Amino acid sequence: AQAALTDLRPQPDDIAADAINGLSRTPKSLPSKYFYDAEGSRLFEAITRQPEYYLTQVELALMESRMPSVAAAVGSGAHVVEFGSGSGRKTELLLEGLEAPVAYTPIEISRTALMDSVTRLGQQFPEVEMLPVCADFTGPVPLPPASRHVQRTLVFFPGSTLGNFFEGDAVRLLASMRGTMGENGRALIGIDLDKDAAVLDAAYNDRAGVTAAFTLNLLARLNREIGSDFDLDGFGHRAAYSRERMRIETALVSTRAQSVRIGERRFDFAQGEAIEVEISQKYTDASFAALTVQAGLEVIDGWNDAQDRFGLRLLRP
Ligand code: AVJ
């Protein structure tokens, strides 16, 4: 089926306003959602193939082995709504494993990544209606209605993308998913589980330097799209695990004193000054349950790999 695209992707003015706002704060910050332009999505896919970045391999293996249990718990005739769909490899396993899914709505901020995955999935699953939405899913997203009867909406949020949100934003996002799924809905969420700091540090500092290139692409993207003049040689990638906050904290660190221009605005950096660009929260069963109750959701099922590195959780209102 040919996919009709709902296009609500962020415009240069929104991106510039968010960048100026973040760089005006102390400490400086930039939103991680802007990592994902076409180049950033490509670099993220490359990260998922790095040996240190266990998250994707472990989650894919979990989906492969546990899909029968997931399908039994979800039931037939679902409209799958995926938040931040990326390449769609996990979606393939989901649509293949579910009983007679009716429709699929990927919500994805990168238009190229969205169209690539939906074209492929549309050919692979001709029985499933493709209803893609290009949007920043942290805002309100109208759900395109399916043509056929839907038994249940299934929100799919893999990859531990939830971990990129500070607690309050994570709860707001989960609450908006509760709204999307409705009273009879379910959500299948992937979460990276807390573990040894060395394993986590390695996952976000791969030897080949792909993660560093991914982080720096944020500045390259701003230069391309909002005409800022970041010198890419003047900043370095830094990612470190905080045991206290149970998360990886990623920053771009200024290697020297310098100033950067965005339109009329100038931002001064001291040598060693950081721009906070991403957090990747890790979870325990207790910390995840505490988050979901605040959003009016309940964990009703869960599956971990044998080493408890990564988990899938099934939620209901
Ligand atoms: C796509 C959000 C799951 O936080 O682990 C990977 C993004 N950043 N390496 C993560 C990311 C650096 C990733 N998620």
Q: What is the 3-state secondary structure (H, E, C) of the chain?
A: CCCCCEEECCCHHHHHHHHHHHHCCCCEECCHHHHCCHHHHHHHHHHCCCCCCHHHHHHHHHHHHHHHHHHHHHCCCEEEEEECCCCCHHHHHHHHHCCCCCEEEEEECCHHHHHHHHHHHHHHCCCCEECCEEECCCCCCCCCCCCCCCCEEEEEECCCHHHHCCHHHHHHHHHHHHHHHCCCCEEEEEEEECCCHHHHHHHCCCCCCHHHHHHHHHHHHHHHHHCCCCCHHHEEEEEEEECCCCEEEEEEEECCCEEEEECCEEEEECCCCEEEEEEEECECHHHHHHHHHHCCCEEEEEEECCCCCEEEEEEEC
Distance of CA 152 to the CA centre of its chain: 23
Atom in ligand 1 nearest the alpha carbon of residue 161: 2
For residue range 11-59, what is the model confidence (pLDDT) as tens digits? Answer: 888 999 999 999 999 999 999 999 999 999 999 999 999 999 999 999 9
User: How do residues 264-287 score in pLDDT, each as one tens digit?
Assistant: 999 999 999 999 999 999 999 999
Percent pLDDT > 70 in the chain is: 99
- Cβ < 6 Å from ligand 1: which residues? 47, 55, 159-161, 163-164, 204, 211, 214, 278, 280
| Beta strands 133-135; 152-157: pairing state | unpaired
Distance from the CA of 221 to the center of ligand 1, in angstroms? 17
Pairwise CA distance, residues 16 & 253, whole Å? 20
Which two structure tokens, joined as six digits, stand for 293? 């109750």
Ligand 1, atom 10: closest residue by C-alpha: 280
Nearest CA to ligand 1 atom 2: 161
User: Which pLDDT score is estimated for 217?
Assistant: 98
How far is it, in rounded angstroms, from Cα 4 to Cα 216? 33
Residue 284 Cα to ligand 1 middle (Å): 18
Quote the crossing angle between the two packed helices 210-226 and 38-47, to the nearest 10°. Answer: 170
pLDDT, position 279 = 98
> What integer is the mean pLDDT of 207-218?
98
- Computed over every residue of the chain, the mean pLDDT equals 96
Q: How many CB atoms lie within 10 A of CB 257?
A: 12
Q: Residue holding tokens 């999307």?
A: 180
Instruction: Please choose, from the candidates 300, 285, 274, 199, the residue with its C-alpha nearest in 3D space to the C-alpha of residue 243.
Output: 199
Q: Backbone phi, then psi, for 48, in 5-degree steps? A: -65, -15
Q: Which of 44, 86, 64, 51 is nearest to 214 (CA)?
A: 44
pTM for this entry: 0.95
The alpha carbon of 124 and the centre of ligand 1 are apart by a number of angstroms equal to 27
CA of 38 to the centre of ligand 1 (A): 16
pLDDT bin (cut points 50, 70, 90) of residue 5 is confident
- Of residues 9 and 156, the one with the higher pLDDT is 156
pLDDT digits (tens, 9 = 90+) for 100-138: 999 999 999 888 889 999 999 999 999 999 999 999 898
Would you say 61 and 305 are in contact if contact means Cβ atoms under 8 Å apart? Answer: yes
More confident call, 10 vs 177: 177
CA–centroid distance, 151 to ligand 1, in Å, is: 32
- What is the C-alpha separation between 48 and 97, in angstroms, rounded? 22
CA of 47 to the centre of ligand 1 (A): 9
Q: Report residue 3's pLDDT band, with 50, 70 and 90 as the boundaries.
A: low
- What long-range pairs does 249-253 form, CB within 8 A, spacing at least 24? 249/276, 249/278, 249/279, 250/32, 250/204, 250/215, 250/276, 250/277, 250/278, 250/279, 250/280, 251/275, 251/276, 251/277, 252/30, 252/215, 252/216, 252/218, 252/219, 252/277
Label residue 8 by pLDDT band (50, 70, 90): confident
Ligand 1 test: best mutation among 35, 207, 280, 281, most atoms within 8 Å of CB? 280
Pocket test for ligand 1, best of 34, 44, 59 (most atoms within 8 A of CB): 44
pLDDT of residue 9: 84
As given in the structure block, the two tokens for residue 128 are 């499933």
